[in-house]
A = this chain, B = another copy of it.
Amino acid sequence: MDQIEIFCPGSVANISCGFDVLGFCLDPIGDIMRVTKTVTPGITIGTITGQDLPKDPQKNVASVAAIALLNAHPSKYGFRIDIEKKIKPGSGIGSSAASAAGAVFAINELMGRPYSRNELVQFAMAGEALASGAAHADNLAPVLLGGFTLVRSNASLDIIKLPSPPELVATVIHPKIELKTIHSRAILKKTIPLDKAVQQWGNLGAFVSALYTNDYALLSRSLKDKVIEPYRAMLIPKFKEVKAAAIKAGALGSGISGSGPSIYALSRGIKIAEEVGVAMKTQFEELELEYEVHISKINNEGIKILH
């Protein structure tokens, strides 16, 4: 195999109660990446369409991740990466994770699959570190493994795939402002009140239980965030109103997608998810703020091979 074309999906990290540990994989929105084996060793970036991103292999998240993989598993061949970048950087749905995970996934396939999807996370982390300053696996894990994932330890990359209740559908609205992860991280406090931390881990434990038992009511009660959301919400226009509109329209829960500015909601069934999308966008229309809305089942597979 000399060439592979893959779909690199977007993802939603944090999911209200799981800051820096939880994430899930989106379905319809994502980049197309084509990776071609070359006789000249090393990584090159070919064409990038859709977004204006660096082509210097040391400055592009896809190539930086790819280089990390090749450092661990050298190849006599090189690899050229072409990207149709559809996920806007700074949108909060894992743009850099899609690129970093996609590059290591594709090259791993072309090398005969020396690593499992779980093992590839470690290399993709190099790309994430370039994009966000501090490398976290909470977007990479769902992109590579699919479904819902939990990063038990970011230091040891102990990653667990969790089950996806079959009727869950995500609505994601992306207001067209850019918010860099590095800035939305800087606004957070270094310490948090113990009582709020206890509420947060009570909710996270309940959320994990709800995924195993398909308990949509419990899932709804556990989608709370008193720790991170109050700070990051200040960076997103009309966050409170959009979230309230989503809940009123029937969403099980709603919150900031990753570090924002996108806002996610989870609903039971596609019909409610679509109504939630309508309710959310009405808020941005009043503000005359441009936006995109995505309705997505949970992508339980993660990255998909197209050709």
**In the complex, what residues of B have CB within 8 A of residue A205's CB?**
18, 21-22, 150, 152, 160, 204-205, 207-208
A221: which B residues are within 8 A, CB to CB? 152-153, 158
Task: Please give the number of chain A residues whose Cβ is less than 8 angstroms from any Cβ of chain B in the complex.
Answer: 39
Q: Please give me the residue from chain B that is nearest to A153 by CB atom.
A: B202
Q: How many monomers of this chain does the complex have?
A: 2
A112 close to chain B: CB less than 8 A: no
Which of A47-55, A86-94, A183-191, A237-245 participates in binding chain B? A183-191
Chain B residues with CB under 8 Å of A202's CB are 20-21, 150-154
Contact A158 B206 (CB under 8 A): yes
In the complex, residue of chain B having the shortest beta-carbon distance to the beta carbon of A210: B160
Does A77 sit within 8 A of B, measured CB to CB? no
Q: Write out, one digit per residue, whether chain A residues 175-209 have a CB within 8 A of any chain B CB (1) or not (0).
A: 00000000000001111111001111111111111
- Is the CB–CB distance between B189 and A192 below 8 Å? no
A19 at the interface (CB under 8 A from B): yes
Minimum CB distance partner of A22 in chain B:
B205
Write the nearest CB–CB distance from A253 to chain B, whole angstroms. Answer: 13
Which residues from chain B contact A193 at a C-beta distance below 8 Å? 190-191
User: Which residue of chain B has the shortest Cβ distance to A20 in the bound complex?
Assistant: B198
CB proximity of A240 to chain B, nearest CB, Å: 22
Residue A135 at the chain B interface, CB threshold 8 Å: no
Interchain CB contact under 8 A, A199 and B153: yes
The complex places the Cα of A143 from the Cα of B299 at a distance, in Å, of 40
A229 to B125, CA, bound (A): 31
Q: Are B150 and A206 in contact (CB under 8 A)?
A: yes
A29 interfacial contact with B, CB 8 Å: no
Closest to A199 in B: B153
- Other than A194-B227, A204-B205, give 16 A-B pairs with Cβ distance below 8 A: A19-B201, A21-B198, A21-B201, A150-B205, A150-B209, A152-B203, A153-B199, A153-B203, A154-B198, A160-B206, A160-B218, A190-B193, A197-B197, A200-B201, A201-B204, A205-B205
Sample (6) of A-B pairs whose CB atoms are under 8 Å apart = A150-B202, A152-B218, A158-B218, A160-B206, A191-B191, A192-B192
Q: Give me the 6 closest cross-chain CB pairs, A-B, nearest first.
A: A152-B206, A201-B201, A191-B191, A208-B208, A212-B212, A21-B202
